Structure 1
Amino acid sequence: MDSKFCRDCGSVRPIAEFTRNRNSRDGYAFYCRDHARRRHRDSRDRRTGGPRSRHPREIVVPEGSKWCPDCGEVLPHSAFGRNSAARTGLNSYCKPCHNARTRRSKELVGGERTYHLRRRYGITADDADAMLAAQGGVCAICRTAPAAHVDHDHATGAVRALLCFNCNGGLGQFRDDPDVLQEAAAYVRFHALSQYLVAAFAAAGLGPVRPIRVE
């Protein structure tokens, strides 16, 4: 026997393309080697849930291209985002599929706002809204401007309160150092009082005076 019909191919194949099978009438497998491997692989995937790392099976990926596991397309490298942590330097999924996965991840945690708040500060959008309501909607420091920024301890990561843009930026500029902040407050008070005294003495016809700050 020089050839045999493969049920999956739907055509006659050379007998050399079939493995031996002593349980069959003619002593050869029902399917050619390629289709036998596919059937074995598919049966294993049904039992185990498929491969842990997805890879392009039986797909030719030309140089300069990459296979996307989600859409199953072979696309040029330009269709994939950069990822320095990956071995290839590219994301596993093409840009549309990567964006779709990101949207699904955000939806699973309650939306984009909660996604970013949880990722950066460990709180949800509901937590932030409760803090804002407790503060009356205004900054926890100046008590006047809208509170739009989450303030946290840079050493421990603990969330402290909600601040306005200026107060939040000011703390960052002073590196959250209470001693430096107190010195800055004393500095501002001294010069405000100095200007008041100079103006008062000048109005009274006295002076000029030069206030001196005593440490």
Structure 2
Amino acid sequence: MERWGRTTPIAQRRPRGAALLRDAQGRKQCSVCLTWQELGAYAASPVQADGLQPRCKGCVRFATYHVTPERYAALVEAQGGVCGLCGQRDSSGRDLTVDHDHRCCPVPRSCGRCVRGLLCNRCNVGLGRFQDSPEMLRAAAAYLTFWSAQPPRRVPAEPPKPRGRRWPKFRLTDEEYARTVAAQGGSCAVCRREPGRRSLSVDHDHRCCATTPACGTCVRGLLCTSCNTGLSHFNEDAELIIRTAEYVEAHMIVCT
């Protein structure tokens, strides 16, 4: 079988319990390329008997992105082993994730020609939350920049009852929430889209209150779920989000 530009054995049906087999060096055999590799070459999988994927990471990347182990290693080396956006190693210890242009291949699988680079998990998920859109990314950066320049707002010490379900986490009454929704035209403050069935999420400045409950003075606005989680994946860093928009624009690849 031709694979990764060279001939590899055709995967055969392996005996029951093959996932638990190890050679003399403690290595596991990949179910596709049939090579024996160190356990670190396999991603975790809680549903497998040994807690590891049956396919090695190289086979998974080739099947998903048409990226050979040699090409992946070259990308890692070219980026200095760090994320192509934030310049950091993945804090979870994971390998860098292959990023591709979803305008070319909107499904998880890529043709290989639209691969743009390698990203850490946080930046990759954050980019996906903003739908690979430079316009949405710049809107998110502008939103953060605006609120970073605003003085903290004061909230009444004892608001009228009933306070509502958002009061315990954000010190925001139902009336204040409704007024903010109306002021934003019922849409997200970043992407300007209506949230659909889900209500808009309350966004606050995590530099003031790193966790909830928030004090209430650092509430900035209401966002849809995608924009709210996207900001958190970029650590609310406006400069990083701008670099992400420039990254997307610099790698606009359309398959022909």
Fold agreement, TM-score > 0.5:
no
TM range (shorter): 0.3 to 0.5
When Rg is computed on C-alpha atoms for both structures, the one with the higher figure is 1
Determine which structure has the larger strand proportion and give its number.
1
Determine which structure has the larger helix proportion and give its number.
1
Q: Which fold has the larger relative contact order, with Cα–Cα distance below 8 Å and residues 6 or more apart in sequence?
A: 2
Q: Under a length normalisation based on structure 2, what TM-score does the superposition of the two structures give?
A: 0.35
